[in-house]
A = this chain, B = another copy of it.
């Protein structure tokens, strides 16, 4: 768990290259250049490309998962969690634009990797949040909906524009600025929409 300066610079460089190109298209030499070190150092510290990739993936998830879980598992009311999730996630992703795409991309290309990962690491877990939703429905405080569908709506509306950014910009005919404006507007729009769907009249 000790991280030397070299090890850190390797991880940072690997992150940059893997995020931009994905596992298969990333080159060890490019990572070495990015880190201003010899290519052999990559193997000295991480043994193989796959191991290095695993370390980067772990770190990426390690940034996102606790953040999401802190929202899912707080003791705040449902509506507030929805607002916090959307605002927090969009803010987070604007600063880390490659992260969610990277995770989804590599989990799709190698589903086995994803499964193993979910079994062995701290990952986003909305189960408490789902229970909370179910309870509120029972008490008649919100309208009936499958909690999983609600969570899926929340994630879809929030994450998709970033994951499919290239396509979204193309389809909606946006430039970079228009895209960012739209995303900022969504911080309000998405919670309003979801809450409007489940609040009792």
Contact = CB atoms under 8 A, between A and B. Distances in A.
A110 to B, nearest CB: 9
A20 B193 CA distance: 35
A153 interface: yes
A156 B161 contact: yes
Given A22-B22, A170-B123, A171-B126, A159 B152 contact: no
Interface in A178-201: 182, 185-186, 189, 193, 196-197
Interface stretch (A28-36, A38-46, A74-82, A99-107): A99-107
How many copies of the polypeptide does the oligomer hold?
A: 2
A157 B189 CA distance: 14
A173 B21 CA distance: 29
A189 B105 contact: no
Contacts of A151: 171-172
A29 B148 CA distance: 42
Interface string A105-120: 1011101001101100
A56 interface: no
A141 interface: no
A37 interface: no
Contacts of A156: 156-157, 160-161
Contact of A170 (B25, B118, B149, B196): B118
A109 B149 contact: no
B24 A104 contact: no
Interface of A: 20-25, 101, 103-105, 107-109, 111, 114-115, 117-118, 123-127, 145-146, 148-149, 151-153, 155-157, 159-161, 163-168, 170-174, 182, 185-186, 189, 193, 196-197
